[in-house]
Structure 1
Amino acid sequence: MLAEHLRELALLNRGLDLSLTDRRGPAGDRSERFHFPGGARDFVALLDGEGVTPVHPDVIGFECEDPRMAGTLEVALRWRDCAGERVRGFANSRATAYGTHLEGLRDGVAAALDAYARTADPVEPAAAPGAPAPVGPTPIGPELVGEGLTAVVSVKLDHPEFEGSIRDVLGNHPVRACVAEAVREHLGAWLEEHPERAAAVVARILRGARRS
């Protein structure tokens, strides 16, 4: 448990270089080092693990400061060609079950993907035999973007507001808009710069929408 906690801290704070030594065993000391220069990008790669087929090989990530929420934010994300989602949120290096930072992540991802899909007009999956053809592009809302998504959103705030019975929900209201705007801007730029990978991501989202 201690090793897992130190690993998480090192992933969320790229400047940290931590080590843990167990001196209890008769065979001598056992040590493990925790240092991740890639920060949240490394966290996403670790969550995906081995044997996962990514829709795009690179992990999309960025970090920025926003005075409107009196803090900084770091986001990393990648889609994979399998079901389910792995989305993790943190506030001041503390794991959160829900909150405005996670809402902002989904809002921003949906806005960027929907805008790109409408302007790029990617080919949508074919309708089933006998089914009516879809009219216009499928809207991409926050409820659709999680399928196949691995993501980490970490905010560091001067005055975090934790809510819920065990204080695991972030309640700072300005955070949602700040995270959403930053994600929309940075993910939107990545989509424009990598049209082939962007088309693969949008197609992945639309396949999940057709199945739901």
Structure 2
Amino acid sequence: MSKEDTRYDASHIQVLEGWEAVRKRPGMYVGSTSERGLRQMVFEVADRAVNEVLAGRAASVDITLTPDGGVRVADEGPGVPIDETEGAGGPVLEALLTQMHTGVGTGGRHDVTIGFCGMGPAVVNALSRWMTAEVRREGVRWVQEYARGVAATPLTKTGTATGSGTTIAFWPDADIFGATEFSFDGLEERFRELAFLNQGLDISLTDLRRPDEPRSVRLSFPGGTRDFVDFLDGHTAASAPADTIAFEREDPRMAGVMEVAFRWCNCPDERVQSFANSRPTIGGMHTVGFRDGTAAALTAYAREQGLLTPVDPDFGADRIGAGLTAVVSVKLDRPEFEGATRGMLGNSEVRDCVGQAVQDHLGRWLREDPERAAAVIDQIVQGGRRD
């Protein structure tokens, strides 16, 4: 190997300026350049609008897939501020859409991050060939346009406005994504989750890409996690031997609130979904606590009623799943996620908090409805014998 081959100096370092880094490595910011990445772009723009509703400043969020391949996200909140802000070098609106990590949320349990990374709408702007923003605020309509992350026009007053709100529309850059076909079903699935997990959230999703086949859904679920369990059960709900057990409890030990709903159906499958601050999780301390509490309550009741013989072992957390449908959601001021994908919740105190709450509520239900309690325990016992 020659000296030329092994030489390493400043000429080997590539410096990317502005939005070039995002456009050159888009997968680092939205996950991929496939449909999954396109879906993430919608979530990054909708984040702010969803949190406006959760904060009580807006009533609903409207998301529209337009015939020309764009996406429009609208809310009727107070409108993004348009005045100059110190350190941003321009209006708040322009900073929000051209500077990474410029947000309006406070964090913690009261804010929702829809996607997996929370990079913000500026990244979407950088990966779009065109973006438009309209703000209706204090009786005035303001408009600004952007191209590939850079303001193409100044923020312009275009007349009077009726009401207030913000509408952001974007068109993904085909040079980056190739095919730019959004999945209506994929968007609907995630927005439905959010509506289940956040009572009071009202989201409409409309597809106008095929004028002869328009499609629209409205997602709002006053029953919260209880409605979520009904949805997961689908047609099997009618054969449930147990009513849905649902509760919400705040626990200062974990600096947060838990929302849990579950029941057993006459089927062998287990459907347990978990969330932390409205993010889907593959497991963690909240699910461990849920299983611990469920197993403890069932074991204690079964022994009290003689439904387990003295030689029968306690119900383990691995035996309670036959026919179980559950949604376990926690919202914490300081969530601690394990790993870069943030799929596991690591807050150790959550395990005991959720476990005790589930044990209390399930134990009470078992004592109040002994006939259905016996049916659930028999189902679990029989399932264990089949295993």
Tell me, yes or no, if structure 1 residue 66 matches structure 2 residue 251: yes
Residue in 2 aligned with 1:127? none
Residue in 1 aligned with 2:240? 54
Residue in 2 aligned with 1:4? 189
Residue in 2 aligned with 1:180? 355
Question: What pairs with 1:1-150 in structure 2 (closer than 5 Å)?
Answer: 1-27=186-212, 29-51=214-236, 53-56=239-242, 58-122=243-307, 135-150=310-325
TM-aligned CA deviation for residue 137 of structure 1: 4.2
Show structure 1 runs of 4+ deviating over 3 A. 134-138
CA distance in 1, matches of 2:350, 2:224: 20
Secondary structure of the equivalent of 2:327?
strand
CA distance in 1, matches of 2:247, 2:215: 35
CA distance in 2, matches of 1:29, 1:84: 35
Give me the CA root mean square deviation.
1.5
Tell me, yes or no, if structure 1 residue 206 matches structure 2 residue 375: no
CA distance in 2, matches of 1:79, 1:51: 10
The answer to whether the 8 A contact 1:86-1:151 is kept is: yes
Provide structure 2 residue ranges, at least 5 long, that are not aligned to the other structure.
1-185
Q: Deviations over 1:59-93 (max 9, x none)?
A: 11111100000000011111111112111110000
Alignment-mate amino acid for residue 69 of structure 1? M
**Which entry has the higher C-alpha Rg, 1 or 2?**
2
The number of equivalent residue pairs is: 201
Secondary structure of the equivalent of 2:199?
coil
Alignment-mate amino acid for residue 188 of structure 2? A
Which structure has more relative contact order (CA 8 Å, sep 6+)? It is 1
Normalised TM-score (structure 2): 0.50
Normalised TM-score (structure 1): 0.90
CA distance in 1, matches of 2:330, 2:303: 30
CA distance in 1, matches of 2:274, 2:225: 11
Secondary structure of the equivalent of 2:250?
strand
TM-aligned CA deviation for residue 31 of structure 1: 2.1
- Cα separation, partners in 2 of 1:150 and 1:51, compared to 1, 3 Å: closer
Tell me, yes or no, if structure 1 residue 197 matches structure 2 residue 372: yes
CA distance in 2, matches of 1:30, 1:206: 46
Tell me, yes or no, if structure 1 residue 161 matches structure 2 residue 323: no
CA distance in 2, matches of 1:45, 1:74: 15
